[in-house]
Structure 1
Amino acid sequence: MVMSIARRAMLSLAFALLSPFAHAGSDEDPSTEALWQQYLRPQAQWPALPKEAQPLAPLPDPHPLRAALDDPLVELGEKLFHDKRLSQTAEVSCASCHLASHAFADPRARSLGVRDQEGRRNAPALLNTHLWDHFFWDGRASSLETQAVMPVEDPLEMAHSPKAIVEWVRKAEDYRPLLQGLNTSLSDLDWSLLAKALAEFQRSLMDDPKEQVLDRFLLAVAAEDWSTARQSLSDEQLLGLHLFRTKAGCVKCHNGPLLSDQRFHNMGLHYLGRKFEDLGRYEVTGLNKDMGAFRTPSLRHLVLTKPWMHNGLFTQLEGIVRMYEHGGARPRRPKNLPPEAYYPKTTELLVAFELSDQERQALLSFLKTL
């Protein structure tokens, strides 16, 4: 009997040492180790996702994508992006509202255009734009080329005209070398070329997944490199990832390589009938179902892109988590709204959940790695 017990103990120890889930140290919390065992395996075998959710995915390798870009166009687009002459008063450029130090977003709630006019919405980040299907919070542009003209013509932003911009670019000595590199004559220069250049520069703004915490973990899991995967996240961050995918339900909308489903949802932040009213996607489609709906933002570089939401009114990440713990914003129908008038409802994807203080901090710790 003694020999049998000893033999079983030795076999158990040998299995533990050979297992990809093995980890040095004997003083770990067993529940933490159990959680690691659930995630140090192919993603298809991870704890089940909510039925509405898609899996997480790493960003694509940027090197072949960058190699496919038109370098002369990228160079021209970069100069245009930083040129304040794109605005009527030469006060603001694209870079004025999309700061490289903030993942090409704006740390102000709402950006300032010509004559210090405040825009309506928070400027979104421009990293990894090559993966987006729609642009702007309301998705009114289907391509970066289409998007380029909209801030130019917006009276609150640049208040300029494409035709006028083409004329001064033709005359500007500092643009001559760039245009020569494109083998384009001045007479052939038009807005479509400048818009394409701006778009191509923005497409060049890609993250390298090897430099992103979550992507390193996902790539290591895909390669079954369990040691690297284990080193990519702390125990607390792993718990946060688990909550993100399960109890908190963040993954319902924040999934795929952008950590966005690229869909439009009503999060209850339309402020209909109040200050800050913004009906979002409805202004594009005119459909009641789109009233108050906005494109799911990417969570990439979340800390750098503060403040958050389409209106930039949210500055406390823990406050946002607590709002979602309560099932999101649930505004009441204004009493003065006619009974026949449509009133938007918060998406049913938002369901209340309960986090302990430890779980909330773990979720925040994971979010801050994105």
Structure 2
Amino acid sequence: MEHKEVILLLLIFLKSGHGDPLDDYVNTQGASLVSLTKKQLSAGSIEECAARCEAETGFICRSFQYHSKEQHCVIMAENSKNSAVFRMRDVVLFEKKIYLSECKTGNGKSYRGTMSKTKNGVTCQKWSDNAPHKPKYSPDKYPLEGLEENYCRNPDNDEDGPWCYTTDPNQRFDYCDIPECEDECMHCSGENYEGKISKTISGIECQSWNSQTPHAHGYIPSKFPNKNLKMNYCRNPDGEPRPWCFTTDPNKRWEFCDIPRCTTPPPTSGPTYECLKGKGENYRGKVSLTVSGHTCQRWSEQTPHKHNRTPENFPCKNLDENYCRNPDGETTPWCYTTNSEVRWEYCQIPSCESSPLSSEHLDAPDF
């Protein structure tokens, strides 16, 4: 492929709305890969090397390594799942996430992992084999569907997800139990969502986080390096009920995004306590009185105080009954009160170290 064609491919890719092509790769500094199927090419940049990997038709390009000093590019069919990695100076290894991932997005049409057993534990038949079952879907007939070895795939876009022909002569096919990818759905309130949805719930395109037009804001990616504010992807950097973004509509500053909830259990957030440890974010005790003796309002109720800290909006914060909790990183657990004159107040939680709690109150949370 000529140099101009590679650049044209890269420009088309960027304009197509897919964002930065390197977002689809995991990179490892100072690593190289033992590869039997590869091509060595010259490339003026990492992005050009990625474009050459995308354009390769002689084999499936799963990774590439870029030698910055020599501006040298090696595209490869292997990755670290099936080939040895060794250290090499001045080299960066880029591996396509899709071939490293063992989870599915949506119905798993794009799944390229290595699960090779059905949900009932039966070994899958190789897609290229004709026994015990003669396949309708084979690598020759469907070369773009990733029908490698005997890995679970979804070549027919089945709504029930990836499947395979089985090695049991009495059962032609069965589905595979592939977990959902957490970066394409959200656990909890989407605080750790890293997917690429970039439209709001009403369909408005999101504004890039590093842009100040049409809306000026303080969520600059360089100031919040741990919030993954990339491109114009929906994120939840401030503890909202779900991911959101500033919009490209001058008349609509921001709006929530419609991110599907993961069906798999959320990751554990560490041990829980019946006493105060740190700020009490993992406190799961049953104290339901504030420091002034007010009874706490139930988190699921909206009287006497309306609020958005509901169990539905924050399903991982254990907002049970009317127990004191710390769902938003306050200095200590708190609750809304049943006194219509007192919206919220901190709670007196016994310390795990049996030391007296400070009764100092800081500024009220901005609810």
Q: Normalization by structure 2: what TM-score?
A: 0.24
Bigger helix share? 1
Higher strand share: 2
Q: Which fold has the larger relative contact order, with Cα–Cα distance below 8 Å and residues 6 or more apart in sequence?
A: 1
